[in-house]
Amino acid sequence: MISANYTADLCVRDATSRIVLLVVDGLGGLPHPDTGRSELETASLPNLDALAARSSCGVLSPLGPGFTPGSGPAHLALFGYDPWTSHIGRGALSALGLGLDFAPADVAARLNFCTIDDAGLVTDRRAGRIPTQECERLCAILGQVDIDGVQIRVAPEMEYRAAVVFRGAGLAAGVTDSDPQVTGHATRPLCASAVADERMVEVAEEFLRQAGDLLANESPANMVLIRGFGAYPSLATMQQAYGLNPVGIAGYPMYRGVARAVGMETPETAYDLASETQLLARRWKETPADFYYVHVKKTDSAGEDGDFDLKVKLLEEADSYLPAITDLEPDVLIVTGDHSTPSIMGSHSWHPVPVAIASRNALPMGSATFDERCCAAGSLGHIPSSSLMALALAHAGRLSKFGA
């Protein structure tokens, strides 16, 4: 938890201050070669710039210089957990996010519906990105898989993505993926990391064999790839660690999953900011909590698709929803991202992510804009993402002094 072992001891549990953490997924970017300006520097962001001008600004590094995180570790770091040692298998995040019946000793995995040819080679790892409805129908078919001594639950996620939970004696999560990651190759054999994981390999192989039979006459999704085996997470909750009563407002299942893994309540919502900010405003009044995590998904997708202009547009859209949050007058409002997703790279990256912490104890640097280069010169400096929660608690008056 954070860097010190003392955090929980220092947390003020009877505080009444309230924190909002707005995570704009894949926030950070890089300059467009034609203009020399990043997505944030190109976008018109009047509300975020005004926020930055009254905030302590800085940049957050999810894993340290050079290391690119997935969404799971990047979020765990933002929530104050060591992203290297608190790893949760992607399958476990999906199972949690989808609200599957998933408990300690179960193992979850991600399923991607795919297309294989007669020779058994993978020709499309996403089965033409089948619609979510088709995914739902195929998941129901996979519900017929029957393995002695093992309970299996399969649930659709988005498009070609689904999750599976295995429950039975002797299951463990140390199993490699069947996804070959490239087309034109056969699926990869599952391998156990240790003797204790061998039963899981047997079960998953039998699952894949029966799935292949059940899907044989479907098109284009005639097979599944299995990946991201994960055990039920055993992290301290944010209540235990910080004495917070946290709510996660995230439409996209995986982010609800990571929020649940740290003990957040995660009410249902669509994953557009209109729905999410409406839910935030309602929950803010009806059932006050201490900590609200709000997640913006689409910016990351635009960056991953290499669509610089769309990412600019989505950042401007996010900016337009900021007043819906500032109007609630949280004691502390933090805007940042889980990681950078520069459009010119078309992928997650290691670049530090801008952060602004608005509170009455902030140290602004004067005129500021909310972007990579301005925030890098801010009063917070360059810090690990996993330090953010201590700063959030400190600005909220929720951390007491260490030592006399």
**Looking at beta carbons only, is 134 or 174 nearer to a copy of itself?**
174
Stretch that binds a copy of itself, among 161-169, 300-308, 327-335, 384-392 (CB under 8 A): 384-392
- Of 215 and 335, the one with the shorter C-beta distance to a copy of itself is 335
**Residues 25, 299: contact at Cβ < 8 Å?**
yes
Residue nearer to a copy of itself on the CB measure, 72 or 263: 72
User: According to the binding rule CB under 8 A, does residue 90 interact with a copy of itself?
Assistant: yes
Among 21, 114, 226, 399, binds a copy of itself (CB under 8 A): 399
| Number of CB atoms found within 10 A of residue 301's CB | 16
Q: Select the residue interacting with a copy of itself from 294, 364, 368, 370 (CB under 8 A).
A: 364
> CB-wise, 216 or 377, nearer to a copy of itself?
377
Cβ neighbours for 180, distance < 8 A, ≥ 6 positions apart:
122, 125, 186, 187, 188
Euclidean distance between CA atoms 361 and 391, whole angstroms:
11
Touching a copy of itself, residues 228-247 (CB under 8 A): 228
- What residues does 355 pair with on adjacent strands? 58
Q: How far is the CB of 59 from a copy of itself (least distance, A)?
A: 7
State yes or no: residue 389 binds a copy of itself (CB under 8 A). Answer: yes
Binders of a copy of itself among residues 159 to 218 (CB under 8 A) are none
Exactly one of 64, 180, 220, 267 binds a copy of itself (CB under 8 A); which one? 64
Q: Is 71 in the site for a copy of itself (CB under 8 A)?
A: yes
Residue choice 133, 216, 309, 402 for contact with a copy of itself (CB under 8 A): 402
Q: Is 80 within 8 Å of 60 (Cβ atoms)? A: no
Question: Which segment (112-120, 162-170, 260-268, 365-373) binds a copy of itself by CB under 8 A?
Answer: 365-373
263 touches a copy of itself (CB under 8 A):
no
Which segment (72-80, 266-274, 284-292, 330-338) binds a copy of itself by CB under 8 A?
72-80
Minimum gap (Å) between residue 170 Cβ and a copy of itself: 25
Under DSSP, the state recorded for 180 is -
Q: Coil, strand or helix: which one is 392?
A: helix
Q: How many residues contact a copy of itself, by CB under 8 A?
A: 71
Q: Which of 51, 50, 28 is nearest to 39 (CA)?
A: 28
Shorter beta-carbon distance to a copy of itself: residue 134 or 290? 290
DSSP class of residue 176 equals: -
Residue owning tokens 């078309």: 346
Q: Which residues contact 157 (CB under 8 A, 6 or more apart)?
A: 94, 97, 98, 110, 135, 163, 253, 254
Nearer to a copy of itself, 131 or 381 (CB): 381
Give the residue, chosen from 12, 17, 68, 281, that forms a contact with a copy of itself under the rule CB under 8 A. 68
* Closer to a copy of itself by Cβ: residue 114 or 145: 114
Q: Is the peptide bond preceding residue 220 cis, with omega within 30 degrees of 0?
A: yes
CB of 258 to a copy of itself, least distance (A): 10
Residue number, 247 or 391, with CB nearest to a copy of itself: 391
Give whichever of 5 and 234 is closer to a copy of itself, judged by the CB atom. 5
Q: Among residues 66 and 189, whose Cβ is nearest to a copy of itself?
A: 66
| Residue 280 interacts with a copy of itself (CB under 8 A): yes or no | no
Stretch that binds a copy of itself, among 130-138, 238-246, 291-299, 381-389 (CB under 8 A): 381-389
Tell me: does residue 391 bind a copy of itself (CB under 8 A).
yes
Return the exposure string of 259-273: e unless at least 16 CB atoms fall within 10 Å of the residue's CB, then b: bbbbbbebeebebeb
Whole-angstrom Cα Rg for the chain: 22
How far apart are alpha carbons 26 and 309 in whole angstroms? 15
Distance CA 183, CA 279 (A): 41
Q: Output the six-digit token pair for 98.
A: 């989808």
Candidates 401, 400, 404; CA nearest to 14 is 400
What phi and psi, each to the nearest 5 degrees, are found at residue 257? -60, -50
Q: Is 114 in the site for a copy of itself (CB under 8 A)?
A: no
What angle (nearest 5°) sits at the alpha carbon of residue 337, between those of residues 77 and 42?
Answer: 155
Neighbours of 164 (CB within 10 A): 26
Q: Which of residues 13-52 bind a copy of itself (CB under 8 A)?
A: 30-31, 36, 38
Strand partners, 356: 57, 335
383 touches 1 (CB < 8 A): no
Site for a copy of itself in 299-358 (CB under 8 A): 342, 344-345, 347-352
